[in-house]
């Protein structure tokens, strides 16, 4: 475990980049420090009639853009330092991928598995009420999203509670993202973080100079990948990487790890886990069970994707990491000093506040959908199809050839909501990576994490300068 706290690690990475910028120290302090933290307690009645006092937090790190944005996690590990650190990472993440939000984060110190559905609903609705009472939630104020221990169900409860508290707000559904489709959610949001990890990894692997740096061939096809975590992010990252031609050679979870060098069928593994004792991966046909979940991180591979929780790669196990590239699917999975030691060994680290930004990118699209009250693709899909059909008709007329009905359908299909969401996500992740590579190349000797912090600092500073706060 790292000797310094999570928020201190984030600040250390910030300061490492800040010295490479030309901004006033007061400006840098304004960007780094957390704007506000709300810590509160509230009671919940358990099924046995007892009363339990719960601790909860919401941190708004930066108000340089509003609303602030960040997930809500339910975990016994939730504490103020963690919430502040994650809120800061959200600020920098939004800046790197050009999403117009400030960073925020929230959490309740509970083990969600220990509560009934009814109890979780009461807890979630009470948490929402407390945020509303103090002005910590609203489509133009602070917009939560799912995180560890929460999902679309909890987001639907939050949206419903907010709507009942603010019935006059036409845009009320925009108070939270990651909702079910029927409750104002957007197609592609569930898969977004994992898909974003894939886009980031694929684009990096398509850069000849970057692959030369780490001694790999160009392209994602054939790359051996290990994924830590088989939750929403890890599952979708593994699935999409495999679809792009990568070979998933290892999966590590909280209850163990497996290795299979000829490739793990991710969907088959998930199906197997549903029937195995304790939902464990051990015993999956053709795989080798490893002695511990930590051992899964040390499998020899080309790409390692830690997609679970923070502080998974530390000074203790960093020397045993045998990947060429580490793509941070989780927030803060590598401690600050461990990340530096990996880079010194020639292992490229793709930082969390870029690599796992897919969720907030598509949350932004959902927020826009809620404000506009129009499903993406609804206005243009049929018009696109008719335009494509006219084009094919003109080609047939000019050439004298004809297209089959199947060819016409394939060539003229207009983009629906999920197509547009995935296109926007891909554009965002690809564009951001090339900007980070350009920044890194302008500062010889720095890594991608430092480049991402420089990018975020410069963009946030520009916002404050435009406001006239610093002449």
For the chain, the residue count is: 471
Token couple for 277: 């004792």
Angle of CA points 240, 246, 248, to nearest 5°: 85
Distance of CA 97 to the CA centre of its chain: 11
Is the previous residue joined to 67 through a cis bond, with omega within 30 degrees of 0? yes
39 phi and psi angles, rounded to 5 deg: -115, 125
Q: How far apart are CA 174 and CA 428, in angstroms?
A: 21
Residue position matching structure tokens 């009461």: 122
**Residue 153: which residues within 8 A CB-CB, separation 6 or more?**
180
Using only C-alpha atoms, the chain has a radius of gyration, in whole angstroms, of 23
Token couple for 220: 């994602």
Q: Which residue is catalytic, options 105, 179, 260, 381? A: 105
Distance of CA 91 to the CA centre of its chain: 13
Which 3 state secondary structure label does DSSP give 348?
strand
Q: How far apart are CA 356 and CA 365, in angstroms?
A: 16
CA distances from 183 to 128, 153, 167, 366 (A): 17, 10, 15, 11
Among this protein's residues, is 105 annotated catalytic?
Answer: yes
CB of 334 closer than 8 Å to CB of 345: no
Annotate 269-288 with b (16+ C-beta within 10 A) or e (fewer). Answer: bbebbeeeeeebbbebeebe
Q: Which residues are catalytic?
A: 105
């Amino acid at each position: 475990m790292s000797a310094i706290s999570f928020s201190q690690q984030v600040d250390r990475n910030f300061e490492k980049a800040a010295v490479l910028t030309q901004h006033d120290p007061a400006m840098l302090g304004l960007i780094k420090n957390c704007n506000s933290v709300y810590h509160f307690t509230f009671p919940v009645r358990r099924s046995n009639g007892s009363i339990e006092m719960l601790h909860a937090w919401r941190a708004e790190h930066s108000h340089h853009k509003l609303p602030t944005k960040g997930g809500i996690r339910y975990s016994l590990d939730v504490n103020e330092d963690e919430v502040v650190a994650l809120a800061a990472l959200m600020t920098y993440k939004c800046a790197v991928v050009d999403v117009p939000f400030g960073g925020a984060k929230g959490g309740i110190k509970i083990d969600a598995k220990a509560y009934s559905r009814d109890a979780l609903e009461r807890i979630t609705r009470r948490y929402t009420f407390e945020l509303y009472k103090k002005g910590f939630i609203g489509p133009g104020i602070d917009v939560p999203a799912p995180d560890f221990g929460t999902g679309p169900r909890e987001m639907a409860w939050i949206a419903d509670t907010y709507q009942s508290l603010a019935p006059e707000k036409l845009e009320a559904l925009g108070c939270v993202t990651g909702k079910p489709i029927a409750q104002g959610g957007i197609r592609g949001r569930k898969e977004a973080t994992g898909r974003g990890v894939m886009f980031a990894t694929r684009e990096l692997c398509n850069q000849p100079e970057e692959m030369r740096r780490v001694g790999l061939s160009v392209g994602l096809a054939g790359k051996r990948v290990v994924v830590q975590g088989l939750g929403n992010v890890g599952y979708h990252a593994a699935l999409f990487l495999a679809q792009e031609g990568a070979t998933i050679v290892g999966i590590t979870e909280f209850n163990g790890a497996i290795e299979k060098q000829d490739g793990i069928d991710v969907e088959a593994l998930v199906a197997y886990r549903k029937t195995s004792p304790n939902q464990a991966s051990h015993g999956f046909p053709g795989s080798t069970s490893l002695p511990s979940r930590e051992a899964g991180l040390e499998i020899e591979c080309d790409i390692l994707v830690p997609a679970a929780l923070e502080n998974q790669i530390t000074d203790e196990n960093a020397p045993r990491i045998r990947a060429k590239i580490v793509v941070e699917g989780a927030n803060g999975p590598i401690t600050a000093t461990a990340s530096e030691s990996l880079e010194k060994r020639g292992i490229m680290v793709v930082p969390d506040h870029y690599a796992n930004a897919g969720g907030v990118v598509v949350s932004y699209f959902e927020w826009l959908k809620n404000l506009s009250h129009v499903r993406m693709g609804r206005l243009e899909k049929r018009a696109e199809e008719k335009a494509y059909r006219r084009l094919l008709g003109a080609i047939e007329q000019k050439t004298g050839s004809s297209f089959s009905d199947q060819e016409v359908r394939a060539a003229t299909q207009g983009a629906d909501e999920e197509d547009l969401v995935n296109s926007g996500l891909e554009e965002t992740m690809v564009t951001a990576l090339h900007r980070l590579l350009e920044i890194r190349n302008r500062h010889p000797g720095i890594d991608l994490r430092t480049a991402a912090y420089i990018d975020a600092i410069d963009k946030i500073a520009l916002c404050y300068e435009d406001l006239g706060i610093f002449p």
